[in-house]
Structure formats: C-alpha cells, structure tokens
Structure 1
Amino acid sequence: MSDFTPLRSVLYMPSSNAKALEKAKTLPVDAVIFDLEDAVAPDAKPAAREAAAAAVSSGEYGRRTLTIRVNGLGTEWHDDDLAAAAQAGPAGVVVPKVNSADEVRGLVAALEKAGAPDHTKLWAMVETPQAIFDVRELAAASDRLAVLVMGTNDLVKELYAEHVPGRAPLLTSLSLSLLAARAAGIAIVDGVYNDVKDTDGFLAECRQGREMGFDGKTLIHPGQIEGANEAFAPSERAVEDARGILQAWEDGKGSGVVTYNGKMVENLHVESAQRTLAIHDAVRALED
C-alpha cells in the first residue's frame, strides 16, 4: 500500500463561492470536492465550472486530493462540466447518481475523449435503489473507477425512509456498497451528516462508518474535518498493536505458533497490521 491515499475527510465546497475555495487551501482535509451540482445555483454554474477548473490547476492546495463534482447525466450542464473537469485534470471527477456498469463505461469513455490525463479517475456516487441493486457490477466496470461515494441523502429520499440514529434504513445499502467496493479493490467513502451542530451524532456516525469499513466520510462543513480525521485514522493503540504483531511474527519465524499479547497471530493478522501501518504512515506524510 505504498501508494495509499488517505480519504478520511472529503469536503464538499461550492465552486461558486470564492471565499470557500480560498479557505479550502488552509483546511486540514484529505480531499476536496469542488461542487458544481447541488451547492451551485443554475445561473452560477458556468462561472463555478471555470472556478473549479482554475482551482484544480492552481497548485495551491498542497497534497490534498482534489476532485470536481459535475452535474449529473442528462442535465444541460453535464457535458460541458465533464469536458472542463477532464481538461483540468483533477485526481477525480465525481459524478452523481451513477446507476449502472454501462453508465460507468460511458463516463470513462467521455473522460478519455475529453482528454483526461491518466491520473484523473472516476468517482461514482451511489445514491439510488437501482445503483444499489447493480453496485457489484458497477464497481467492477472499469479500472478508471477509483472511488464509490455514498449519497445517503438521496438514498433516504428514494427509499421514503427517515434519517435516524444508527441509520437502520440504510444499512443494507451501505453494506452492499462496501462489499462491492472491497470486491473490486477500490475505495469507498460514507455519506454526509446533515446537522453540523450535532457533534455527538456526527462522531457516532463516523465511528459507525469506520467500524463498517469505510475509508472516510464526505463532509458539508469545515467543523466536521477534525472528527472525521480522527475517526478514520488508526488510533495510537492500533498502531502500537500493529507494530507488536509484526515484530512477534518476525521473531517467531519457524516456531510454528506465534502469539502477541496472548492471542494467536496468523497471516491475516499480519496483513491487517501492515495495512494499519500503511494508513498511519500515509496520514503522517499528508499532515507533515
């Protein structure tokens, strides 16, 4: 995992807001989504498109992962958004409401036709019942698809469900999407938490997402960054245990049975420990 990129905190920023774009340069966030969709009024979309492309090309955001969320397939802005994003060359182009493997392949073809560089990947938002039913095929449809982004607000709307603590109405959708991402070997980030004043609820949802296996969480406010960064990074105890497991494994070569703190150590524990340390090292490098 030497090329691991942390995605603990992924912040939506409206590309029509110059102050927000400037502020993003100073925030301790892993990734920024320069938004051209929900956060931008229709008459502001052309100017926002230019601002997002300029931000990506500016070189002023340090090691943050930069992406652009375009307007969805079938909207009047989609084709121009996709072409501008491809030419700007961000780390990812985020597309809302991607419903099928065929749509993934069509989006990839459009990016390539528009001249997107090899490092510009597709980030597909999973936010409809159709996408959930087809998520395994969707996630594996192209090597250029790098991240699934959960659109939990739209999923709640489409299911006629409610936002409740613990997210019981969404657990099936979240779990199926996680399974699909892991089977395809790609990253997946959790949906947003809407109440920016409810810190306890936000942190509880971060813990739930981390325990389920998400790589990070999409955010709607800078005040949520610190909590997400902490929740989705290995704790000091986890790092200490990972180092201990690897040392015990090295020390116990040839002995048949290896233990650490009284627990048996097998290959799967070693692989998990190596992943923990790779994430820890990548986070440290980003923060430094």
Structure 2
Amino acid sequence: MSSDRNYEREFVRTFFTSPTAVSGENSAKMLQSAAQLRGMQAPDTWIPDNEDATAPSMRAEGVQNLVEVVSEHGADFPGEIHPRVVWHRDDPSTRYEGFKQMLEITDPENGAVEHIDGFVIPEVGDLDDWKKADEFITIIEHEHGLDEGSLSMSVIIESGEAELAMSDLRAEKGKPSNNLERLFLLVDGQVDYTKDMRAMTPTGELPAWAELRHNTSRGASAAGCIAVDGPYDDIRDVEGYRERMVENRAMGMTGIWALTPGQVVTANEAPLPPKTGSWLLELDDDEIELDAEDGRQVYDGDELSLEQVGDDSYVLRVDGEEQELDAEELHEELLDLTTYVPSMDDIVDSMEEFEAAKEAGKGAIAMTQATTLVIDGVEVDIAKDRMWDEATYQAAMTPVALFQDVYEHRPDQHDALEEMYGEGIVERAMAVGTDD
C-alpha cells in the first residue's frame, strides 16, 4: 500500500467546528456566521458539527440548517466543508442515525452535496468500525449517484481502540474490500480520550497526551493522511495555544482544532514562516528574543552579563555563574547560547543558493549565519556555518511547501500573504523547489 495522499491538500492548519443548531429565534445563526468567514478568519476545513456541539434534541433541525446554509453559501466558502455526524463504536443505533444524517445531507435534491467535501466520524473504535463508516459512505455515494470515493472521511481519535487502529491502517488501506483511501484527517479528541482512558489530574485539567499526538502524527504519515490536534479550550490563552502548535509542528502535526474565529486566525498564521528572522538566547530552558537595532542584536536583561576586562579577556556571567574567557572562547560560548529563527526570505535565499550550487554540480555547501551581539554595551561578532546537502534542502522545503499549498488552495488569503511578506518574496517562494 502506498502512503501517497489521495486529495489535493497536503497541509491543513485549521479544523473549525460550528454547532448546526442553537436555541433561539434563528437556530442556524452560528452556521450562517461561519459560512461567511473569509481570508485569515476562514478555516482550511469547516466542520458543521451535528454531534457534540449540537444538543441531541436539535440535531434533526441541525441537519436541515446545514443543508440550507451550505446550499446557499457553500460555493463561496473558501475552505473545505466536512460535516460531523453522530457515531459510536459501541452503539449500532447511533451509527445508523449517523448514516441517515449523511444520507440526507448528500441528497442531490437538497442542493448541498456539491459543496460537501466529506464527513467527520467521531467516537470510532477499532479498524473494523472505521470500515463500517467507510461502507456507509460508499452506499451513500451509490444511492445518490455520486462518484465512488468523492466524499472523504475523517475520524476523531477518542479511544484507546482508535489509537491502536492507526497501527493497522497502512496494511488495510487499499484492499479491494474497503474504500479507506477516502481517509483525509486523523483528528485527536483529547476530552473523550481522557474519559476512555480513565485518566485523572489533580486540577481536573486534561493531560497533555503528547504520546497520542505523536501516534496520530505517525499514523497519518504512514497512511497518507493529515494529522490534526484536538481543541484547546482555554480560548483566552493565546500564548498557550501558540506554544501547543509549536510542540505539534515539531512532531509533524501542522493542524489544530479551532473553537473561535480568533483561534482560526492564530492557527492559520502560526505555521507560516515568519516575515522577519530573529535571534534567540536560550537561558535555563527559556528562549529570549533579542532586540534588533541597527543590524545588531541587543540583550537587555539580568540573567546574562558581559564585561571586557582586557584586550582579549572577558567575564561572562550566566545566572550568577562567572567565567573568564578569551575572545575565541567567548565566541564559542555565545554560539552555544544563541539560535536563529529564519524568515521566509532567509529560507528562500538559502534554497535558491543551494539550487544554484546543485545545478553547478556541488552536492553540499556551507551557509553562514552571522550577527553582532550587544550585551551590557560589549559588542561580539558571532558566526556559525551550517552544511546544506540534499537532505537539509528537503527539510527546509517543508515550510515553503506549506506556504505553496496555502497560496494555491486559499486565493482569499493572497492579499494577506502578499501584505505579510511582500509580492517579490511570495513570487520567489512559489517558484522555489518546483524544478524537480
């Protein structure tokens, strides 16, 4: 079985859920509001949620709201639309209800199906349960005269069974007895997963479940799907949300659940390469961004101090520990304490330079990063060389490939991206890596 993906998107940044029906005079107002989001406020995948976000007594009305809103606004919505229906691995009646919901939503006479990209199936169990959902979707496609495989299927990993099932997915996907090639997103659902695992914390907060996120990212990579992290429910903790995404991206998980339009904007922007590069000092597991002033990087804090005591003699104090160093030793010590976060321009520059070197027959070249640090008024020039080979180039391509994927599939974000980076950098970023 190949892990090649069977859909256009290679990256999904945002998974935004909206209740299909809420109490009040206009029960569809949340759907109507979400359907009109554009630009950075619009998610890559919009999930009209007829499961947990909608009260059981309102789900029938929710299906009708979904059909009406998607029929009216779906053609103009810039992301993909993947309704979430009811399902449960241990309850046949719930699975049948989910089947009926999908059957109604995709009825061509209702006018919504041409804008529906797939369905999100929650509370799945072992792989046999995934196949049941897949079979229902295949039946729906046949019933309504849709192309087989035209509707994707995403699942929410909310149980130990589902987590273990990801290990079997690569071997099962592609067999003639199933249509699991339709799988799109593997989404973590940490709330129900915590309940299923009978986990507890002293504060009652959710565990971080780093292992689950790693396993989902690994399972998605092996099976040619896209991994998405679950909801971050402290919607006011923007910095915590950003930190969560940084952790996720380090394990190959770009996408994350968004509960509000504000989280959508944050999650859409955070994975993109920064507009400007920055130098960081790493002190006691803290990363301190240095202030850029006239081409120099200035540290203004009390955890680090530097004094020049002779022509080639310095005293460096880090968290109260003092070292007397010559210029070469100081250079090496500061190199160990600093790191550089490249901008989009830096990344594209390096990739273009390596492409030119490769064209000239070179297999590896050295790239230099240099700056002047200013600590307590003392200036120190530092420079580090990094060898670039084909593997380094391919790794650097990932953030650029993300940008290219966004630019190709989200025309509504073109203006924001060109304003962020500048038209020239956008053009170069879209051209780099396209000759292979």
Q: TM (normalized to structure 2)?
A: 0.60
Alignment of 1:150 with 2:194, yes or no, is: no
Other-structure match for 2:199: 161
What is the Cα deviation at residue 94 of structure 1?
Answer: 0.1
The answer as to whether partners of 1:15 and 1:36 remain within 8 angstroms in 2 is yes
What is the Cα deviation at residue 95 of structure 1?
Answer: 0.2
Distance of aligned partners of 1:223 and 1:109 in 2 relative to their CA distance in 1, 3 Å threshold: same
Alignment of 1:91 with 2:117, yes or no, is: yes
More helix, by proportion: 1
Select 2:59's aligned residue among 45, 49, 61.
45
For residues 169 and 32 of structure 2, the distance between their equivalents in structure 1, rounded to whole angstroms, comes to: 35
What is the Cα deviation at residue 159 of structure 1?
Answer: 2.0
Other-structure match for 1:79: 99
Distance of aligned partners of 1:169 and 1:193 in 2 relative to their CA distance in 1, 3 Å threshold: closer
Q: Alignment RMSD, CA only? A: 2.6
What is the Cα deviation at residue 238 of structure 1?
Answer: 4.7
Q: What does the per-residue CA deviation read over 1:90-109, in whole Å, with 9 as the maximum and x for residues that have no partner? A: 21200001222222222222
For residues 160 and 273 of structure 2, the distance between their equivalents in structure 1, rounded to whole angstroms, comes to: 33
What is the Cα deviation at residue 110 of structure 1?
Answer: 1.2
Distance of aligned partners of 1:198 and 1:274 in 2 relative to their CA distance in 1, 3 Å threshold: closer
Alignment of 1:180 with 2:200, yes or no, is: no
Distance of aligned partners of 1:50 and 1:99 in 2 relative to their CA distance in 1, 3 Å threshold: same
Other-structure match for 1:68: 83
What is the Cα deviation at residue 229 of structure 1?
Answer: 1.5
After TM superposition, list the pairs within 5 Å mapping 1:189-228 onto structure 2.
189-228=228-267
**Higher relative contact order structure (alpha carbons within 8 Å, sequence separation ≥ 6):** 1
Partner letter of residue 123 of structure 1?
S
What is the Cα deviation at residue 129 of structure 1?
Answer: 0.9
Give unpaired runs (5+ residues) of structure 1: none
The answer as to whether partners of 1:148 and 1:181 remain within 8 angstroms in 2 is yes
For residues 53 and 168 of structure 1, the distance between their equivalents in structure 2, rounded to whole angstroms, comes to: 37
For residues 260 and 192 of structure 2, the distance between their equivalents in structure 1, rounded to whole angstroms, comes to: 19
Partner letter of residue 29 of structure 2?
K
After TM superposition, list the pairs within 5 Å mapping 1:226-241 onto structure 2.
226-236=265-275, 237-241=342-346
For residues 59 and 15 of structure 2, the distance between their equivalents in structure 1, rounded to whole angstroms, comes to: 21
What is the Cα deviation at residue 66 of structure 1?
Answer: 0.8
What is the Cα deviation at residue 86 of structure 1?
Answer: 4.2
For residues 272 and 3 of structure 1, the distance between their equivalents in structure 2, rounded to whole angstroms, comes to: 21
Identity %: 24
After TM superposition, list the pairs within 5 Å mapping 1:97-136 onto structure 2.
97-115=123-141, 116-117=146-147, 118-136=149-167
What is the Cα deviation at residue 111 of structure 1?
Answer: 0.7
- Secondary structure of the 2:227 match is strand
Distance of aligned partners of 1:193 and 1:256 in 2 relative to their CA distance in 1, 3 Å threshold: closer
For residues 283 and 167 of structure 1, the distance between their equivalents in structure 2, rounded to whole angstroms, comes to: 31
The answer as to whether partners of 1:86 and 1:111 remain within 8 angstroms in 2 is no
For residues 70 and 84 of structure 2, the distance between their equivalents in structure 1, rounded to whole angstroms, comes to: 12
For residues 55 and 67 of structure 1, the distance between their equivalents in structure 2, rounded to whole angstroms, comes to: 13
Distance of aligned partners of 1:265 and 1:34 in 2 relative to their CA distance in 1, 3 Å threshold: same
Distance of aligned partners of 1:247 and 1:50 in 2 relative to their CA distance in 1, 3 Å threshold: same
For residues 268 and 162 of structure 1, the distance between their equivalents in structure 2, rounded to whole angstroms, comes to: 42
The answer as to whether partners of 2:10 and 2:405 remain within 8 angstroms in 1 is yes
For residues 181 and 284 of structure 1, the distance between their equivalents in structure 2, rounded to whole angstroms, comes to: 23
What is the Cα deviation at residue 216 of structure 1?
Answer: 1.1
After TM superposition, list the pairs within 5 Å mapping 1:269-280 onto structure 2.
269-280=392-403
Partner letter of residue 56 of structure 2?
P
Other-structure match for 1:252: 357
Q: What does the per-residue CA deviation read over 1:211-250, in whole Å, with 9 as the maximum and x for residues that have no partner? A: 2221211122222112211222233335334323321222
For the pair shown, the structure with the greater C-alpha radius of gyration is 2
206-215 or 141-150, which deviates more: 206-215
101-110 or 266-275, which deviates more: 266-275
What is the Cα deviation at residue 143 of structure 1?
Answer: 0.9
For residues 133 and 19 of structure 1, the distance between their equivalents in structure 2, rounded to whole angstroms, comes to: 38
What is the Cα deviation at residue 168 of structure 1?
Answer: 5.6
